[in-house]
């Protein structure tokens, strides 16, 4: 019988679908806007203050069927890579894949041993990243979905030796309203568009004299 090294994977996928499907966070973005949002995340105080590696973002290859994060565990000097599938260019997937990068920063293999890709360490990290990207309300919705749809296994209830829930949360003063960088970015875009619409239209006056053709 083959051992499952990531038993919570499908439950996590289901929980986040429950939390984010048909919401603002599933809205497809233009690739340029997606990269701008990623830049805001990776230059956020939380990311920089905790020295989380900044990943390289690439499109998936023809062999890939889904998005994923690739970390060079044997060569830590190399930058992690996030590969995003065309149907996944949205804020929810950015938060998910970025959380994998942060997970293996906070739970380094040399200290914690092998951690499951979608286990409790990932979920704790994902909740912090989700709050930064999508806001407190979205993170709370994800937390509830995890509680309802991800089973609590006995080894999780008892705790694994050396495994400590050490993921920090973002400082509230950087986002007092708990909106998240994506909703704030959308608000800025909307305000910029409204400002353009409010600018007076200047109609060129009639010019007397000959016109060169």
Reported as a single tens digit per residue, the pLDDT across 2-46 is 447 899 999 999 999 999 999 999 999 999 999 999 999 999 999
Domain limits, the chain? 9-193
Q: Round to whole Å and give the CA distance between 54 and 38.
A: 10
Reported as a single tens digit per residue, the pLDDT across 48-105 is 999 999 999 999 987 888 999 988 665 666 899 999 999 999 999 999 999 999 998 9
**Which string of DSSP letters, residue by residue, matches the chain?**
----S-TTHHHHHHHHHHHHTTSGGG----HHHHHHHHHHHHTSHHHHHTTPPPPEEEE--TT--S-EEE--TT-TTSPPEEEE-GGG-SHHHHHHHHHHHHHHHHS-HHHH----TTSHHHHHHHHHHHHHHH-HHHHHHHHHHHHHHS---HHHHH--TT----PPPPPGGGSTT---HHHHHHHHHHHHHHHHHHSPPPPPPP--S----
pLDDT band at 158 (very low <50, low <70, confident <90, very high): very low
Q: pTM for the complete prediction?
A: 0.85
For residue 82, what are the CA distances in angstroms to 12, 43, 58, 95?
Answer: 19, 16, 6, 11
């Amino acid at each position: 019988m083959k051992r499952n090294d990531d038993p919570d994977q499908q439950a996590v996928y289901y929980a986040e679908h429950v939390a984010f499907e048909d919401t603002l966070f599933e809205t497809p973005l233009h690739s340029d806007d997606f990269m701008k949002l990623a830049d805001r995340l990776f230059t956020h105080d939380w990311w920089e203050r905790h020295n989380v590696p900044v990943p390289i973002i690439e499109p998936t290859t023809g062999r890939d069927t889904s998005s994923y994060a690739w970390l060079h565990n044997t060569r830590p000097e190399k930058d992690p890579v996030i590969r995003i599938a065309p149907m996944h260019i949205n804020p929810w997937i950015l938060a998910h894949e970025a959380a994998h990068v942060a997970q293996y920063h906070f739970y380094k293999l040399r200290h914690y041993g092998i951690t499951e890709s979608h286990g409790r360490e990932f979920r704790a990290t994902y909740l912090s990243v989700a709050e930064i990207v999508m806001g407190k309300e979205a993170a709370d919705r994800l937390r509830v979905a995890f509680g309802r749809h991800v089973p609590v296994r006995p080894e999780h209830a008892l705790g694994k030796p050396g495994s400590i829930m050490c993921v920090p949360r973002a400082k509230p003063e950087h986002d007092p309203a708990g909106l998240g960088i994506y909703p704030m970015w959308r608000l800025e875009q909307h305000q910029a568009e409204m400002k353009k619409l409010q600018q007076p239209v200047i109609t060129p006056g009639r010019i007397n004299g000959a016109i060169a053709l």
